[in-house]
Amino acid sequence: QVQLVESGGGSVQAGGSLRLSCAVSGYTASYGCMGWFRQAPGQEREGVAAISSVGNTNYADSVKGRFTISQDNAKNTLYLQMDSLKPEDTAMYYCAAGPVISASFWENHFTYWGRGTQVTVSS
């Protein structure tokens, strides 16, 4: 059974930084895609950053240049380094993974999802 567990969320002031982690357990094979999504209250869930097993990355325009997605050598842990945080980044952040070799934000590519970790950025 595959399990994704996010951690690293919290509350920071605007301009601060956070690093989110997603621990993947219960499987032996790597995934073609891993990504981060977020959902603010009253808003639709949106893709934030994604990375494929071949190293392609994709970022939402709103976070480009501020966020960096990466994974460890074994591809069992996914990270999202968030710098220069803004209040508009406040949301529940979800880690996801799937078998398709893609860095797109198409949610159908992601078959496994974590429960999320809250990120709150104050002014």
Give me the pLDDT at residue 73, please.
Answer: 62
Give me the pLDDT at residue 26, please.
Answer: 73
State the Cα–Cα distance between residues 37 and 108, nearest whole angstrom. Answer: 13
Over range 82-105, report the average pLDDT: 94
Asked if 91 contacts 62 with a C-beta cutoff of 8 angstroms, the reply is: no
Give me the pLDDT at residue 51, please.
Answer: 93
Residues 30-61 have pLDDT tens digits of: 678 999 999 999 999 999 999 998 889 999 99
Give me the pLDDT at residue 1, please.
Answer: 77
Q: Does the pLDDT value for residue 3 go beyond 60?
A: yes
Q: Does the pLDDT value for residue 119 go beyond 90?
A: yes
Give me the pLDDT at residue 65, please.
Answer: 98
State the Cα–Cα distance between residues 23 and 112, nearest whole angstrom. Answer: 12
